Structure 1
Amino acid sequence: MADVMVLFLTLCLQLLALPVYVLSYLGLWEPFCKKFFFPFFMEKFVVIYNWKTSRQKQDLFRNMMEFADPSGKLTVLEIGCGTGTNFQFFPPNCRVICTDPNPHFRQSLTKSMAQNQHLQFDQFIVASGEDLSQVADASVDVVVSTLVLCSVKNVEGVLKEVCRVLKSGGAFYFLEHVAADHSSWTYLWQQVWSPTWKLIFDGCSPMRETWAAIEKENFSEIKLQHIHVPLQWTPLQPHIIGYAVK
């Protein structure tokens, strides 16, 4: 019965989003989404998201300087940096390298850099999380990922790249929305939303069990919590937060 309900509601939602499906079929939606819609949407959405998660982000990044090198310098690589929404939470004077597969975030990112003069910005690399070849092995103290692993093509591939670029004893910080408990109503709605959500929001999947991939990776220590972020009317409320040490 539940499967029938999911199918019916999914089809109803797809019908409502029919213009987007038509544009996608014609090959017009993806370039429009990447260049215009998604950067615009994220610039607005992250304001709400930071308001909802400000305390959690402050707590998450509070101990980041513990992973600085012996000279006290901290190099941070943020993958999928988007609009630079995390910059305000990073410790002063750390060196920040940014990567994102979408070059159309550059304008918002430059604005965020100008607003966060307490940081030293190195470069913006247009690259996917699965291919960080422009970043040398064991060259960064910290890697940061927030709302990124939901949309990458290969979570395990990204985590392998994270481990490659991290120095021994470095840390991977994450805050990601994930799949809900399979017995919950939230999970049912995630199933309903999933096809249309992925299409509209540039591949973002609301149903990934990202914690399992992190726990399988060869980290020496993992501090991970499941939390609830009150993002009403979205399938994104279940989250994981924490960091893993190489």
Structure 2
Amino acid sequence: MGKQNRTVQTCLGTGAQECGMMVSETDKEDVGCLWWGNQANTIILVVLVFLWLLKKLISATQHRWFAYVMHLCTKDEFIPLEEVKRDHFASMSSIISQDPELRKKNAIKILEIGVGTGVNFAHYPKGSHLVVVDPNPNFKSYYDSNKGKFSNILTEEFFVTTGDDMGMIDEGSVDVVVVTLVLCSVNNIAKVLREILRVLAPGGKFYFMEHIVEFDVKKHWWRRQMQDIFTHWLPVWPFIFDGCQLNRDMLPDIQKAGFSKVEAEKYYAPVPHWVFDPERPNMKGVATK
């Protein structure tokens, strides 16, 4: 409105032809601005629709490509890490089952939560009966392919569910529960621990191995910063690794969950590549029901 008034006032002292030219130039400017405004709105709309479709596509396929990524990461044995596992799981061989039939066979029943591709098979005692749960059904094919390589275990069921929803497993029915690199991504740690206590037989053992928040901040402050950045500020880690949180410490939750005894230690785990350095701070232990 102001622009039109200025044009009219300017025309009072000019000829009709000059005035017409001035009005014409002003109209062109207005039309040009309107055109560019419409174009910008269209571009923004197209970008937003594209991002929405991309998010939908990623969400629909995330479980599939996450299973494949984990298959690639674990298909080759990383000897230093396997030695840590071997030492940690060695005491399983001395556990006596609460099931009379398994006790006759000198065997135990193990439940593994978040089994993935089955990276712990090699460390279970001979004759173990294994039941597993994992919320990602795309792991099943890798799991099936891997379990055939280990005659030391008898695999029973693969339940597609989460660790906080294991109603299909009877109370007090397993001798050992194993969780490795899983509590970093669950929604409710306390609820998972309650389920673990429920399914364990009296005196049963809970074996855990988890990467945790950096515990020596004075020496490795930079790693602590990276854990926060990659988890919250630039959340590439949860995006790539299906919700994995780098800056959790699960030990307090385990200690107050209701186990009769908790033995744990924090250490720096060997990692196969510098990319996984944020996961180097680790914790392992055994809790007894």
TM-score, structure 1 length as denominator?
Answer: 0.86
Report what 1:19 is aligned to: none
CA deviation after TM superposition for structure 1 residue 216, in Å: 1.4
User: Does the 8 A contact of 2:173 with 2:200 survive in 1?
Assistant: yes
- More deviation in 84-93 or 47-56? 47-56
The whole-number CA distance in structure 2 between the counterparts of 1:24 and 1:136 is 42
Quickly say closer, same or farther: Cα 1:76–1:50, change in 2 above 3 A: farther
Please give the root-mean-square deviation of Cα atoms over the aligned residues, in Å: 1.8
Whole-angstrom CA distance in 1 between matches of 2:238 and 2:53: 12
| Alpha-carbon distance in 2 for matches of 1:54, 1:29 | 32
Stretches of structure 2 lacking an aligned partner (at least 5 in a row): 1-50
1:233 matched residue in structure 2: 275
Larger Rg computed on CA atoms:
2
Residue 51 of structure 1 deviates from its aligned partner by: 3.0
- Name the counterpart of 2:222: 185
Residue identity over aligned pairs, in percent, reads 33
Q: Which runs of 5+ in 1 are unaligned?
A: 1-21
Does residue 61 of structure 2 align to residue 32 of structure 1? Answer: yes
Of 183, 189, 198, 1:155 maps to 189
Match of 1:12 in 2: none
CA contact (8 A) 2:174 2:199 kept: yes
CA distance in 1, matches of 2:53, 2:175: 40
- What does the per-residue CA deviation read over 1:8-30, in whole Å, with 9 as the maximum and x for residues that have no partner? xxxxxxxxxxxxxx478632212
Residue 47 of structure 1: how far off its partner (Å)? 4.1
1:200 — aligned with what?
240
CA displacement, residues 117-163 of structure 1 (integer Å, 9 cap, x when unaligned): 11111111111011111100000000000011111111111111000
> Which residue in the other structure is 1:6 paired with?
none
Distance 2:74 2:57 in 1: 26
- 1:202-226, Cα deviation, whole Å (9 max, x unpaired): 1011111111111111111111010
CA contact (8 A) 2:266 2:283 kept: yes
Larger deviation, residues 162-171 vs 212-221: 212-221
Question: For 1:146, which of 176, 180, 184 is the aligned residue?
Answer: 180
Q: Which residue of structure 2 aligns with residue 117 of structure 1?
A: 151
| Deviates further, 223-232 or 163-172 | 223-232
Alignment of 1:66-105 (within 5 A): 66-69=94-97, 71=103, 72-105=106-139
Instruction: Flag the 1:48–1:102 CA change in 2: closer, same or farther, 3 A.
Output: same
SS in 2 for 1:169: strand
Deviation of the 1:66 alpha carbon: 2.6
> 2:275 aligns to what SS in structure 1?
coil
Partner-residue secondary structure (3-state), 1:243: strand
Q: What letter is aligned with 1:191?
A: D
Contact 2:81 2:270 in 1 (8 A): no
Q: Distance in 2 between matches of 1:138 and 1:156?
A: 18
Stretch of structure 1 that moved more, 38-47 or 157-166: 38-47
- For the structure 1 residues 50 and 154, does the alpha-carbon distance in structure 2 shift closer, same or farther, using more than 3 Å as the test? farther
TM value normalised by structure 2: 0.74
Structure 1 residues 117 and 179: alpha-carbon distance in aligned structure 2, compared to 1, 3 A threshold = same
